[in-house]
Structure formats: C-alpha cells, structure tokens
Amino acid sequence: MSDQIAGRDVPVPHEQVLAYLRTVPSTADSSSDIQVLRARTRAEALAVRGELEPVASIQTLDVGGVPARLYRPHGDETDVLIWIHGGGWIHGDLDCYEGVARALANRGNCAVLAIDYRLAPEHPFPAGFDDAWTAVQWAKANFANVAVAGDSSGGNLAAAVALSARDRGVELALQLLVYPVLDNTAATAYKQLFRERYSNFAGHAGFGVIADERIHHLWDLYVPDVADREMASVSPPRAESFRDLAPAVIITAEHDILRGEVEEYARRLEADGVPVAAYEYIGQIHGFFQMLGVMADAEDAIDKAAAALRHAFAVSTESDATAPTPRT
C-alpha cells in the first residue's frame, strides 16, 4: 500500500482540480434512469474536453460489428492505438473522448481506433470485453503494429485484452492503462483509508464514501454474476502470471480511490518482468486525463503517453527487445 495516502493530514488538490470541483455537484447522482445519467455525464465531458486538434481524416467504421472511429494524423499510418473509453462500463461515448483520440493520434504519430463498445446494464460482461477483443482482431488484420489503451473502466478492458492477446499469441506493442479499475476486492484497506481521509475532500461531503459506493455499484451492473469476477478477463490481477505481457504505461492520480490497486498491479507486472513506466499526477483526481480544456496535467499525461507510443511502435517495427523504462 502506498504510504502517500497517509502522508498529509488533509489531502491537497491541484488548484485546477479545486476550480473544476466547484462546478460539479458535491453529491452522487441519485437518478435511477440510465439515460438521464448518460446525458448528464456526456454534457460534463463535452464541457471539459477542450479545443479539438485537427487531424487528416476521421472514418466512421463498423469493426466486426463494433461501431468505431478511425483517426489518422497524416493518412498513411501503419500503427494503430485502440482507445477504449471510460465511464464505469455504463456511460461515455466517442464524442466524450474526441479530444483524447485526436491528441493521441497527432502526438503519438499513429492512427487511433476509438471503439463504441456495448454498455451495461443493457449489455453486461462479456459484451464490452468481446467488443474490445473484436477491435484487436480487426486492428491486427489492418495495421502492422497495434497498442491498446483506456481510462478507468476502459483501462480495465485494455488490461484484460492485453492478457487475452498474450494468451492467444497476438503481439501488442503497448498497453496504456489510465487509472484503470482492476479488481472489485483489491486494496480494501487502502479504500477504507480513502473513505475516511477523503470524507470532505475539497468541500465535497462524503467524497470518499461516495467514490467507494459508486465503484461497488458499477461492478454490480457490469458483472452481475459475482463468480465471474474471478476471471482475468474481468479482474486482470487474477491472472496466474503476467509474464510476456506487452509493456505497460500506467497513469494514476493522487486523489483517486483506485490508486492503491493500480500501484499494486504495476508492482506485480514488474515482478513478472513486464516493462512498466508509471506516472503519478500529484493533486489530481480520477477523470483528469480527458479534461484537456481545464487540466494542464491532461496535456502532460497525453504527451507522456504519446512519447511511449512512438517508442513502442518504433521498437515493434525494428523487432528489437524492449527494455524497461524508468519509473518517474
């Protein structure tokens, strides 16, 4: 467990986080109408995604039955990143992550395939995982080198398909995991400390409790059968081994209830010989990666991710062994 959660008496958010939190409700959405929730979270995401970077082309595709958009920064790219959006497996769409997809394409000098996978509760596990794997198969058939990436629940799907790729002999250049949710029983002591320490974070009463309860609710919607949560395709840390997985770039936020399980996953990957580059953003919260319009750290995180993509694709093209990247 990271000792940083107990490192300060009062958690200190970044000034841009404080400004952002003043604009959002201090309590959890109590609506039981999934369409209302999706509309609200979509509006919130569009408000913070920032100016959209121009790209050479955007294609609307049907990727083996999965709706997708293919972003090309130049037009002749032979490498592709599959972007799997977050949203707790229940909301989020291609528009919400348009800024991220365009930025990663331009700065990573690669095509980006953003997928509109099926959402729970209408389509619980394995629908989202199956769609992500279908995208991997399509990408491998159409591009020389393939990487996978996602944030939050999308990070869960990216980690899961990276394991599946290893098991099926499909080579991936990189897995980019942005504060992924990984295991519903992971880091329970960390989460309990988070509930207590973040009881009034940035003036939001019950911040820690609400975060914990929301995660449990999302797991119930995505994987209703508790027994299925033992599977590595649901909970990647349950895999027997992580050897021979694609190199990983892992991005975390200091004030995120998921940080404990993500840090533990990074340590386990490294212990099994997987090259890992880990970046923690001090003062930041879950969700910052897509907030290009309001968070300078989002720009920096995408720049780091893009640099890793360029390196990973270059290594894959040259067929050289990948050396571990120093942790920062």
Alpha carbon 282 to its chain centroid, in Å, reads 18
Alpha helices in 168-252 (DSSP H): 188-197, 207-222
Sign of CA dihedral 238, 240, 246, 252: positive
Per annotation, catalytic residue among 14, 91, 286, 311: 286
**Closest listed residue to residue 150, CA positions, set 138, 162, 142, 166:** 162
Per annotation, catalytic residue among 93, 151, 183, 256: 256
Per annotation, catalytic residue among 91, 152, 183, 297: 152
Q: Which two tokens stand for residue 171?
A: 């080579």
Pairing outcome for strands 111-115 and 145-151: unpaired
152 is catalytic: yes
- Cis peptide leading into residue 126 (ω within 30°): yes
245: left (phi over 0), alpha (psi -120 to 50) or beta: beta
Tell me the C-alpha distance between 9 and 237, whole Å: 31
Facing residues of 9 across strands? none
256 is catalytic: yes
286 is catalytic: yes
Residues with a catalytic annotation lie at: 152, 256, 286
